[in-house]
Structure 1
Amino acid sequence: MKLLTRMAIWAYLMTWAASSIVYNLVGHPHQSPSFKEDINTKTKMICAFQCRSRLCTAFSFEDGLCRMYNIGEGDGTYPSSNVASYKTSQDNFFEAASITRSSVYIYNNVPYDGENAIDGDVTTYFHSAVNDMNPWWCLELSEPAMVKTVRLFPSIKLLFHIRRFNNIEVRVGMNPPNGGDATMNPLLGYYAGPYDNSSCCSVDITSATPVEGRYIHIRRISVPGDETLVFVEMQIFS
Structure 2
Amino acid sequence: MAKWGARWPLTARRMGSRGLLSDLALRKPTKQSSTFAIHTAEYAVDGNYGTDLINNECTHTNMNDINPWWMVDLQTVCLLTSIRILNRGQDSSGIDSLNQLRDVTVTVWLTKSTVNIVYGFFAGPGTLSQVVIIDCPTIPEGRFVKISKTTEYLTLCEVDVFGLAV
- TM-score scaled to structure 1, two decimals? 0.54
The within-5 A match list for 1:134-173 is 134-158=67-91, 160-173=96-109
CA distance in 2, matches of 1:120, 1:95: 7
The equivalent of 2:9 in structure 1 is: none
Q: What code does the residue aligned with 1:113 have?
A: T
The equivalent of 2:157 in structure 1 is: 232
Tell me if the contact between 1:96 and 1:141 (Cα under 8 Å) persists in the aligned partners.
Answer: no
Aligned to 2:42, the other structure's residue is in SS state helix
**Residue 192 of structure 1: how far off its partner (Å):** 0.2
Q: What code does the residue aligned with 2:34 have?
A: S
Higher strand share: 1
CA distance in 2, matches of 1:94, 1:219: 17
The equivalent of 1:53 in structure 2 is: 16
- More contact order relative to length (CA 8 Å, sep ≥ 6): 2
CA distance in 2, matches of 1:156, 1:142: 30
Tell me if the contact between 1:94 and 1:145 (Cα under 8 Å) persists in the aligned partners.
Answer: no
Verify: 1:213 aligned to 2:142, yes or no: yes
Q: Which runs of 4+ in 1 moved over 3 A?
A: 93-97
The within-5 A match list for 1:1-238 is 53-54=16-17, 76-77=19-20, 91-93=22-24, 97-106=28-37, 111-121=38-48, 122=50, 123-158=56-91, 160-176=96-112, 184-197=115-128, 201-222=130-151, 227-238=152-163
The equivalent of 2:53 in structure 1 is: none
For the aligned residues, what is the CA RMSD? 2.5
1:127-148: CA deviations, max 9, x gaps? Answer: 0011101100011111111112
CA distance in 2, matches of 1:133, 1:208: 31
Tell me if the contact between 2:26 and 2:47 (Cα under 8 Å) persists in the aligned partners.
Answer: no
Percentage of identical aligned residues? 24
**Residue 229 of structure 1: how far off its partner (Å):** 0.3
Aligned length: 143
Alpha-carbon distance change, 95 to 195 in structure 1, aligned in 2, over 3 angstroms? closer
**Residue 237 of structure 1: how far off its partner (Å):** 1.4
Alpha-carbon distance change, 164 to 214 in structure 1, aligned in 2, over 3 angstroms? same
CA distance in 2, matches of 1:77, 1:201: 22
Aligned to 1:131, the other structure's residue is in SS state coil
- TM-score scaled to structure 2, two decimals? 0.76
1:44-100: CA deviations, max 9, x gaps? Answer: xxxxx8xx522x5xxxxxxxxxxxxxxxxxxx357xxxxxxxxxxxx4255665211
CA distance in 2, matches of 1:156, 1:96: 22
The runs of 5 or more residues in structure 1 that have no matched partner are: 1-25, 28-48, 57-75, 79-90
CA distance in 2, matches of 1:148, 1:174: 15
Q: What code does the residue aligned with 2:61 have?
A: S
Tell me if the contact between 1:154 and 1:231 (Cα under 8 Å) persists in the aligned partners.
Answer: yes
Larger radius of gyration: 1
